[in-house]
Amino acid sequence: MEYTQTAKPLKKSRKNKLYRRDGIILLLLALPFILFAFAFSYVPLFGWIYAFFDYRPGIPLSQAAFLGLENFRNMFDDPRMGPVLINTLALSFLSILTAPIPMLLAIMISEVRAGWFKRLVQTVSTLPNYISWIIVFSLAFSMFSTEGAVNSIMLKTGIGSPPVDVLGNYDRVWTVQTLLLLWKSVGWSAIIYLAAIVSIDSEQYDAAKVDGAGRLRSIWYITIPSIMPTFIVLLLLSISNLMSAGFEQYLVFSNVMIADRIEVLDLYVYRLGLVTGDYSYSTAVGIFKTVISVVLLFSVNFLSKKFRGQGIV
């Protein structure tokens, strides 16, 4: 009896040591990524101090005039801030409206029985995510400009005359940019839903088949309800990022004819800081965007906890 009583604490202590060692190993593996996130996401926050000074390049910050909240007050008098916010919110809302499309694509891919065709569709739809926006602009320009392939074919066949300038259409710029973003990201976004579909218990589909349910009923009553929590989480995260409509896409597609309709908040901050050299005011606008994004994140998290019983943070 003495041996068995002492053996149990020894086994527990050995297990505790193993768990502790595994925890240390996992922490060391994650440490480079933690340091990377800290260096590029938190260290730059010290630069927020420039928003409270009249900073000019080449002059030490200690010699710059202290402005306090003047740069933040100037945002309410800035005539460009209103149109920029409208462009940002409009493009973000259009992106949110297309949020169900990756889920529908994932459902269609999962229903394909031929493995080779499923892999082909998934590869073709995911490939645009790895193409830079500069290459996307080059492809779009060669196809949809006034002298591009589409207009050339339409002119030769007599379908369209005069040529249609798709990339310079002031009234359709939001729609065009939303479709380009959807084409580029739909396959990559569908991967998350495919992972959620794979995790669904196959016995549910077997039971539905026994009860006489076809494919459409199985999708409606099993697949969609099972992946709906994933959709809601991604939708809430998209809502919290309303102020971050993007940067690279609108930078490369901007031209004289659509510049007023495509200038979003991130692009506006870039032009204020690096083009006009107004670092203090651009920093203040960046802080404003970050604060609004944090408020939106915690707001949707509160609503998620209230109505769903669980949050995203």
Q: Which fold has domain 84-127+172-308?
A: MetI-like fold (1.10.3720)
Contact (CB, 8 A) for 177 and 91:
yes
Contact (CB, 8 A) for 50 and 281:
no
Q: Report which of 96, 126, 60, 104 is spatially closest to residue 239, judged by C-alpha positions.
A: 96
Q: Is 187 exposed, middle or buried (0-12, 13-18, 19+ CB in 10 A)?
A: buried
In 3-state terms the chain splits into helix, strand, coil percentages (rounded to 5) of 75, 0, 25
What's the rounded Cα separation, in Å, for the pair 268 and 220? 43
Query: In the block, which residue shows the tokens 């990201």?
Result: 185
H, E, C per residue of 231-296: HHHHHHHHHHCCCCCCCHHHHHHCCCCCHHHHCCHHHHHHHHHHHCCCHHHHHHHHHHHHHHHHHH
Q: Report which of 259, 272, 246, 238 is spatially closest to residue 83, judged by C-alpha positions.
A: 259
Structure tokens that stand for 272 in this block: 């204020």
Contact (CB, 8 A) for 237 and 312:
yes
Q: What pLDDT tens digit does each residue of the chain (313 aa) get?
A: 444 555 556 556 666 666 677 778 888 888 999 999 899 888 888 889 999 998 888 888 888 888 888 989 988 888 989 999 999 999 999 999 999 999 999 999 988 888 888 889 889 999 999 999 999 999 999 988 888 888 888 888 877 667 778 888 888 899 999 999 999 999 999 999 999 998 888 888 888 888 888 888 888 888 999 998 889 888 888 888 888 888 899 999 998 889 899 999 999 999 988 888 888 999 999 999 988 888 888 888 888 787 777 766 6
Contact (CB, 8 A) for 234 and 304:
no
Contact (CB, 8 A) for 266 and 282:
no
DSSP conformation letters of 132-149: -HHHHHHHHHHHHSTTSH
